[in-house]
């Protein structure tokens, strides 16, 4: 154990330059205290502990103390995570985050087991199978939810305005992320409806093809872009897609500690829809990249934003590989809308607030009162 502590202390030292280490006595004291705690656990804790798992938890605790979005991934979790932005992964189909130590559903992904079972944005997951979730890291919760395809897991959730917990039995499956789909809506079949479920590697190309096909082959009067329950994704794709609907101007800026992370992104000349009317639908499950898109179009008065306030995730994470084959997700910058405002913990407020109604509410169905409201605006 002493050898282990020496290695650990050395790692801490190499994380800082020599001047910092020599002048920061408090850092010495904290490192010494950390080693003392480990020794006490080893000698006096009621059960034997797995030292590797204990250190994983310590590293993860360090990262999660920074913000809800920074986290450590063991080599196994890091390998699983690689599939998340590449179009296919196994699981339930839920994007989750941490809030005050609790696992919160940011959004269920359309047409996945979680969405079909009735999981909603804003639900708190309190139990996964027989495992209590409180006290676990975000990545530990992800690992518990994943498993062999075809097996089932019980999720116990707490939902706003419902006193008793709700249990959902959900069968795991391969989740194929089809990030964009579309159809023609409206009484005169002249409204382009585009459902954007995530911002992954292919989203911008898929959406641009849809818009070009609409513009070339149909007499489109306007567009409805549906970003409800879209948890975000790749920043570059959000910038590209926003650019399609702007003729010029700033899209978003990022500000970080390093010069490379402080940047401004601007639209290129040319609106792919020639300025046709646009309504953007958002809700509490619209996060991150979705908020960049909705916020930029709102600031430029390019679109009417309709629905409910978005999630409020105004930071950018970088996934950093580590030498052990694992990785960490670290917040490296915050982003700001063209107006200079941040949406962190606030979200984008719609121009027209229309709350989801009814227990049988379903996106893009007859019971979708938010979409129905948007259609009425075009027909008025």
Contact 245, 261 (CB under 8 A): no
Asked if the model's pLDDT at residue 345 lies above 80, the reply is yes
pLDDT computed for residue 91 by the predictor? 84
Q: What is the dihedral of CA 216, 220, 224, 226, to 10 degrees?
A: -30
- Both 262 and 240 in a single domain? yes
pLDDT value, residue 89: 57
What average pLDDT does range 2-9 have in this prediction?
Answer: 44
Instruction: Find, among 123, 337, 376, the residue nearest to 229 by Cα.
Output: 123
| 217 plus 285 within the same structural domain | yes
* pLDDT (tens digit per residue) in 199-230: 999 999 999 999 999 999 888 999 999 999 99
- Residue 159 sits in a domain whose CATH number is 2.30.42.10
Q: How many CA atoms, within 13 angstroms, populate the side-chain half-sphere of residue 49?
A: 17
Query: pLDDT tens digit string along 143-190?
Result: 888 888 888 999 999 998 899 999 999 999 988 778 999 999 998 899
Tell which wins on pLDDT, 25 or 22: 25
pLDDT at 238 over 80: yes
Residues 133 and 201 in one domain: no
- Considering the domain boundaries, does residue 203 fall inside one? yes
Residue 16: is its pLDDT beyond 60?
A: no
Instruction: Out of 176, 199, 226, pick the residue that ends a domain.
Output: 176
Element (H, E) at 171: strand 166-171
Task: Identify the domain boundary among 139, 161, 176.
Answer: 176
Tell me: pLDDT of 339 over 50: yes
Shared domain check, 192 and 156 = no
Averaged pLDDT score across all residues of the chain: 87
Q: Left if phi > 0, otherwise alpha if psi is -120 to 50, otherwise beta: which for 301? A: left
Q: Look at residues 147, 176, 205 and tell me which one is the last residue of a structural domain.
A: 176
**CA 36 from centre of chain:** 37
pLDDT, tens digit, for every residue of 46-72? 998 888 888 888 898 899 889 888 989
Per-residue model confidence (pLDDT) at position 7: 42
CA distances from 302 to 276, 286, 289 (A): 9, 19, 17
State whether 26 and 134 are in the same domain: no
Q: How many residues does the chain have?
A: 380
Confidence of residue 114 (pLDDT cuts 50, 70, 90): very high
Helix 235-243 to helix 203-217 angle, to the nearest 10 degrees?
20
| Better-scored residue on pLDDT, 76 or 154 | 154
Q: What confidence tier does 82 reach under pLDDT thresholds 50, 70, 90?
A: low
Token pair, residue 48, equals 């034997």
Assess if residue 118 is contained within a domain: yes
In a domain, 357, yes or no: yes
Residue 380 has pLDDT above 80, yes or no: no
Task: Look up the CATH number of the domain holding residue 216.
Answer: 3.90.226.10
One domain, residues 238 and 188: yes
**What pLDDT sits at residue 10?**
44
d(CA 108, CA 231): 9
pLDDT at 343 over 80: yes
DSSP 192: E
Q: 1 and 45: one domain? A: yes
Give per-residue pLDDT as tens, 257-314: 988 889 999 999 999 999 999 999 999 999 999 999 999 999 999 999 999 999 999 9
Question: What integer pLDDT is reported at residue 24 of this predicted model?
Answer: 67
Q: For residue 40, tell me if it sits in a domain.
A: yes
pLDDT of 19 reads 47
Note the pLDDT of residue 65. Answer: 87
Instruction: With CA atoms as reference, report the closest residue to 238 among 180, 293, 195.
Output: 293
Question: Is residue 103 domain-shared with residue 41, that is, in the same domain?
Answer: no
- Could you tell me if 156 and 31 lie in one domain? no
Between these two residues, 13 and 277, which has the higher pLDDT value?
277
| pLDDT beyond 60 at 129 | yes
Q: Give the range of the structural domain holding residue 43, as residue numbers without chain letter.
A: 1-49
The Cα 235–Cα 9 span in angstroms is 36
Give the C-alpha separation, 240 to 266, whole Å.
10
Q: Examine residue 59 and state whether it is found in any structural domain, yes or no.
A: no
Helix, strand, coil percent content, the chain, rounded in steps of 5 = 30, 25, 40
Active site residues: 288, 299, 313
Sign of the four-CA dihedral 175, 181, 186, 187? negative
Residue 359 pLDDT exceeds 80: no
> 365 to each of 3, 66, 111, 190, how far by Cα in Å?
63, 41, 13, 18
pLDDT at 4 over 70: no
Joined tokens for residue 95: 């994007």
| DSSP one-letter string for 20-75 | HHHH-HHHHHHHHHHHHHHHHHHHH-SS---HHHHHHHHHHHHHHTT-TT-EEE-H
| The predicted structure's pLDDT at residue 184 | 95
pLDDT at residue 81, as a whole number: 67
Residue 128 pLDDT > 70: yes
Tell whether the torsion through CA atoms of 272, 276, 282 and 288 is positive or negative.
positive
Tell me, yes or no, whether 296 and 186 share the same domain.
yes
113 and 189, same domain (yes or no): no
Residue 54 lies in a domain: no
**53 versus 341: which is more confidently predicted?**
341
What is the reported pLDDT for 255? 93
Which residue has 């978005």 as its token pair? 310
Residue 86 has pLDDT above 60, yes or no: no
d(CA 376, CA 374): 5
pLDDT band at 350 (very low <50, low <70, confident <90, very high): very high
291, 274 contact by CB (below 8 A): no
Q: Where are the alpha helices (DSSP H) in the chain?
A: 2-14, 18-23, 25-44, 51-64, 75-81, 113-117, 138-145, 203-217, 235-243, 289-299, 369-379
Is 55 inside any structural domain?
no
Residues 6+ apart with CB under 8 A from 106: 95, 96, 97, 121, 231, 285, 287, 311, 313
Does 162 share its domain with 220?
no
How many domains would you assign to the chain? 3
Domain annotation covers residue 111: yes
Residue 88: per-residue pLDDT: 52
């Amino acid at each position: 154990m002493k050898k282990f502590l020496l290695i650990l202390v050395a790692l801490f030292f190499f994380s800082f330059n020599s001047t910092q280490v020599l002048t920061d006595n408090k850092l010495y004291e904290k490192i010494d205290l950390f080693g003392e705690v480990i020794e006490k656990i080893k000698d006096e804790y009621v059960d034997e502990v797995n030292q590797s798992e204990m250190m994983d938890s310590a590293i993860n605790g360090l990262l999660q103390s920074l913000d809800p979005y920074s986290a450590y991934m063991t080599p196994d979790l890091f390998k699983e995570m690689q599939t998340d932005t590449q179009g296919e992964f196994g699981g339930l189909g839920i994007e989750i985050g941490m809030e005050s130590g609790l696992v919160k559903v940011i959004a269920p992904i359309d047409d996945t087991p979680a969405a079909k079972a009735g999981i909603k944005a804003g639900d708190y997951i309190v139990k996964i199978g027989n495992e209590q979730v409180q006290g676990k890291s975000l990545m530990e919760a992800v690992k518990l939810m994943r498993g062999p395809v075809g097996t089932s897991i019980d999720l116990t959730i707490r939902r706003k305005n419902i006193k008793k917990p709700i249990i959902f039995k959900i069968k795991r499956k391969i989740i194929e992320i089809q990030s964009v789909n579309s159809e023609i809506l409206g009484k005169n079949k002249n409204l382009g409806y585009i459902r954007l479920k995530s911002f992954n590697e292919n989203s911008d190309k898929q959406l641009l093809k849809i818009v070009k096909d609409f513009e070339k082959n149909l007499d489109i009067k306007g567009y409805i872009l549906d970003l409800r329950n879209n948890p975000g994704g790749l920043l570059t794709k959000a910038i590209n897609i926003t650019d399609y609907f702007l003729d010029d101007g700033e899209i978003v800026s990022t500000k970080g500690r390093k010069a490379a992370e402080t940047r401004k992104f601007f639209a290129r000349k040319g609106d792919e829809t020639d300025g046709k009317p646009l309504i953007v639908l958002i809700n509490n499950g619209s996060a991150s990249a979705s908020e960049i898109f909705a916020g930029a179009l709102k600031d430029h008065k390019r679109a009417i934003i309709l629905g409910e306030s978005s999630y409020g995730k105004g930071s950018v994470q970088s996934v950093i590989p580590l030498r052990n084959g694992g990785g960490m997700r670290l917040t490296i910058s915050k982003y700001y809308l063209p107006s200079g405002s941040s949406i962190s913990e606030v979200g984008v407020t719609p121009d027209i607030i229309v709350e989801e109604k009814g227990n049988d509410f379903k996106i893009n169905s007859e019971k979708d009162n938010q979409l129905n409201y948007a259609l009425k605006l075009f027909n008025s």
